[in-house]
Amino acid sequence: MFRTLMRPTAPVIVLSILSLVLTIGCGDGDQPAPGEDHAGGPPHGRPGGGPEQQAIPVAASAVTSGDIASYYDATATLEAEKQAEVLARVTGLVAAIVAEEGDFVREGEPLLRIANDEYRLRAEQAAAATSNLRARFERFEAMRAEELASDEEFQAAKSELASAEADEGLARLNLSYTTVAAPFSGRVTGRLVDVGQNLSAGTPLYVMADFDPLLARVHVPSREFNTLRRDQAVELVLDSTNDRLQGRITLISPVIDPTSGTIKLTIEVPEYPATTRPGDFAQVRIVTELRHDTVLVPRAAVLTDKGESVVYTTVEGDDGVTAERRVVEVGFTDDDHAQILSGLTIGEQVVVKGQRSLKHGSPLKIIEDAAAGAAN
């Protein structure tokens, strides 16, 4: 019974084993080996299996030589060189307004007139008294020559004449004060009275200012004292218009402010746009040290990376142009340039646009137009 059951199953087992072996063998032959495509070759790309890097478009500039300076920057308010409040010197009513706000008047020209009938009559009265006493003095002078008048009478007549002349002079002076004149050439910045207003001596009438030149006063640290000098050129930039103005140092205070440790400088600005007025704010830049024939690069070329100052130079090789990361030491900087103390030589090329996306060895495509800015 046992033998009868085993005979028909043995061939089935053998066939199953052979089928399994053939299946495994065929599967190994049909699948591509690792690192090959279906055609049996290596994958597409750069030799070695890595993806090909695209050249990064950048703009480059040469390392040059030139002068650069260190600056002290401050903010100042422009002021008029002269400013004064014009006061009434006599009492009376305002009869006429001659100058208005914004008018330019020259020294001695009228600003305002005060009713002067009373002052004119006093001057005429004083003149009449002087005339009478002068005639009296002349008679005594002639009589004294003929010894008909004593010295005491002559001296009394002389003294009375001198007193009358002084009174006449005072009366005429007060009369002149009824025409209020400009104390200096400049512009009227404020009119403080109206026609018909009753004035007393000392009443403010006008405010005047001389805008030529304008002044800026700044305070600089005392450590800069030895680097400053009179007539030194100064650059100013108006906050309102960004206009650049040229000034010069005219006064340097001889003392140091003990509370702030600063020195006051007065800067004269002789030329400025017609729209500039006292009270405008300006950024003041004063040169504290000038260095000649230094190694310079565009300021945009210098990056800060992990606490280091870095530039990317261009290197030409067999495979094209690549970037080289270079650590540099920076000295003075201004709006456009940076001084390089070490790390670069004149004539090398540094990347000025697109450098933020670079790494050491990155392939470069150098372009010269402003479109490179899009790569930055």
- Residue 34 predicted with pLDDT over 90: no
Domains and CATH numbers, the chain: 56-68+292-375 (2.40.420.20), 72-80+209-291 (2.40.30.170), 90-207 (2.40.50.100)
pLDDT of residue 42: 41
55-64, 222-231, 233-242: lowest mean pLDDT where? 222-231
Looking at the chain, how many residues does it have? Answer: 376
- Residue 352 predicted with pLDDT over 90: yes
More confident residue, 149 or 51: 149
- Residue 4 predicted with pLDDT over 70: no
The answer to whether 29 and 40 have CB atoms below 8 angstroms apart is no
| H/E stretch holding 252 | strand 244-252
Report residue 89 as tokens.
């010197």
CA–CA separation, 376 and 370 (whole Å): 11
Report residue 311 as tokens.
């530039």
Average pLDDT of the residues in 287-303: 93
Q: What angle do CA 121, 127, 130 make, to 5 degrees?
A: 145
Looking at the DSSP bridge assignments, the partners of residue 181 are 110
pLDDT of residue 12: 40
Average pLDDT of the residues in 240-260: 92
- Residue 18 predicted with pLDDT over 80: no
CA–CA separation, 72 and 304 (whole Å): 23
Average pLDDT of the residues in 226-246: 91
Confidence of residue 51 (pLDDT cuts 50, 70, 90): low
Report residue 349 as tokens.
């090329």
Q: 């040169």: which residue's tokens?
A: 287
More confident residue, 224 or 269: 269
pLDDT of residue 3: 39
pLDDT of residue 134: 94
pLDDT of residue 227: 80
The answer to whether 171 and 126 have CB atoms below 8 angstroms apart is yes
Q: Which three-class secondary structure state does DSSP give residue 96?
A: strand
* Percent of the chain predicted with pLDDT > 90: 67
pLDDT of residue 145: 85
Average pLDDT of the residues in 42-71: 75
| Spatial CA neighbour of 75 closest among 212, 218, 197 | 218
Average pLDDT of the residues in 121-150: 91
Average pLDDT of the residues in 20-40: 42
* pLDDT single digits (tens) 327-346: 999 999 988 999 999 999 99
